[in-house]
Amino acid sequence: MNLLDDHYVADGVADKIISKISGTTDCNKKDISLNHFKYDQFHIGGAAATQKLLKLMGDVTRSVVLDVGAGYGGVARYLAHFGGANVVAVDLAQGYVESAQKIHESFPFSGGVTYLQGDVCGDFSDAEMGAQLFDWCVWVHLGMNISNKEGALRTLCNKLSDKGKIIIYDVLKVGGDVLVEECFPLPWAENEAQSFVDDVRTYENKLLNAGFKVVYKEKYGDILPKIINNPTPDDVIPLAGSDFKLCLENLRQLLARGAVVPWFIIAEKI
Ligand SMILES: C[S@@+](CC[C@H](N)C(=O)[O-])C[C@H]1O[C@@H](n2cnc3c(N)ncnc32)[C@H](O)[C@@H]1O
């Protein structure tokens, strides 16, 4: 039993995502549109942030990409469909792996995604992944669950080919110990014990110690006004947590008072 199991629950969520996508204008046609990625993105900014992530990665056609902490697989599918990448999407929670697979099979996405269960903090040696080396590692809203980031990053560094890169899109803290008990639940954690939010300097140090050099970083402030000024709708799909709407509202408040902010960081294997 994992500490996160009580937070990351997936019962019936895949069906809700599939039904929402199917009910959206144009989603029953043969062509895949941005609307197919409206409900499966489990991170701040949704598909717009994923669009930006792909832009920052540049041309990934036929690149082999390892998406860690892939959740419902929205980012992996986007990179495969719109970027032409071959993606291996790994998540700790078997329920998420099955949900991601189910969503994938419900629509005519193009490109290859393989969904696997794996723990980035474990030995990470899934038989299907084997000794394959990757051009990119994608880490989206994962770091907030990882206490030993340096260890996880070192594991991933070993999975990259020469000059391979990692792109991180995480929620980072701005000041000192800002995430006190009253701030929870949050979309990635029910309580303080499950949450490991760090600042940008800590990420840079841990990346360096793990064998990377940071080549790009950007505070993603553009996305904030839209989130801060729009209360969470009542019919939001409960992607995780006992009360996902409350999780999102709590996060909105943290973003509004500038305690946390999303960042993109790209680092290259040294
Ligand atoms: C906030 S979700 C982000 C999902 C996805 N990257 C996205 O943006 O849509 C974080 C995901 O990380 C996964 N996760 C947490 N700890 C992990 C670990 N040690 N190894 C692999 N996945 C992990 C969780 O199960 C969850 O699906």
Which segments within the chain are labelled E, that is strand? 64-68, 86-91, 113-117, 134-140, 160-173, 212-219, 260-269
Q: Say if ligand 1 is within 6 A of residue 149 CB.
A: no
For 220-259, write each residue's pLDDT tens digit.
999 999 999 988 888 899 998 778 999 999 999 999 999 9
Domain hosting residue 27, numbered range: 13-120+133-269
125 lies in some domain: no
Looking at residue 48, which CATH number applies to its domain?
A: 3.40.50.150
pLDDT at 54 over 80: yes
pLDDT at 127: 66
Q: Is there a domain that residue 4 lies in? A: no
For the Cβ of 140 lying below 6 angstroms from any atom of ligand 1, the answer is yes
Q: What's the domain count of the chain?
A: 1
Residue minimizing CA distance to atom 17 of ligand 1 = 92
Q: What is the mean pLDDT of the chain?
A: 92
Residue 142 located in a structural domain: yes
pLDDT score of 29 more than 90? no
Query: Is the beta carbon of 89 within 6 A of some atom in ligand 1?
Result: no
In a domain, 264, yes or no: yes
Q: Which residues pair with 217 in a beta bridge?
A: 265
53 belongs to a structural domain: yes
The whole-angstrom separation of Cα 103 and Cα 231 is 27
At 1 the pLDDT is: 41
How far apart are alpha carbons 62 and 39 in whole angstroms?
Answer: 26
For residue 90, tell me if it sits in a domain. yes
Q: Return the DSSP state at 189.
A: B
Expressed in angstroms and rounded, the spacing between residue 194 Cα and the centre of ligand 1 is 12
- Say which amino acid occupies 32: I
Q: What is the distance in A from the centroid of ligand 1 to the CA of 29?
A: 30
Closest CA to ligand 1's atom 24: 69
Element (H, E) at 268: strand 260-269
Six-digit token pair at 222?
Answer: 């553009």
Q: What is the pLDDT of residues 177-216, one digit of tens each?
A: 677 788 999 999 999 999 999 999 999 999 999 999 999 9
- Whether 74 is in the pocket of ligand 1, judged by its Cβ within 6 Å, is yes
CA pair distance 13, 42, nearest whole angstrom: 12
Whether the CB of 206 sits within 6 Å of ligand 1 = no
**Could you tell me how many helices (H) and strands (E) the chain has, helices first?**
8, 7
In a domain, 7, yes or no: no
C-beta of 96 in contact with ligand 1 (< 6 A) = yes
Q: What is the mean pLDDT of residues 5-14?
A: 77
Q: Would 31 be classed as within a structural domain?
A: yes
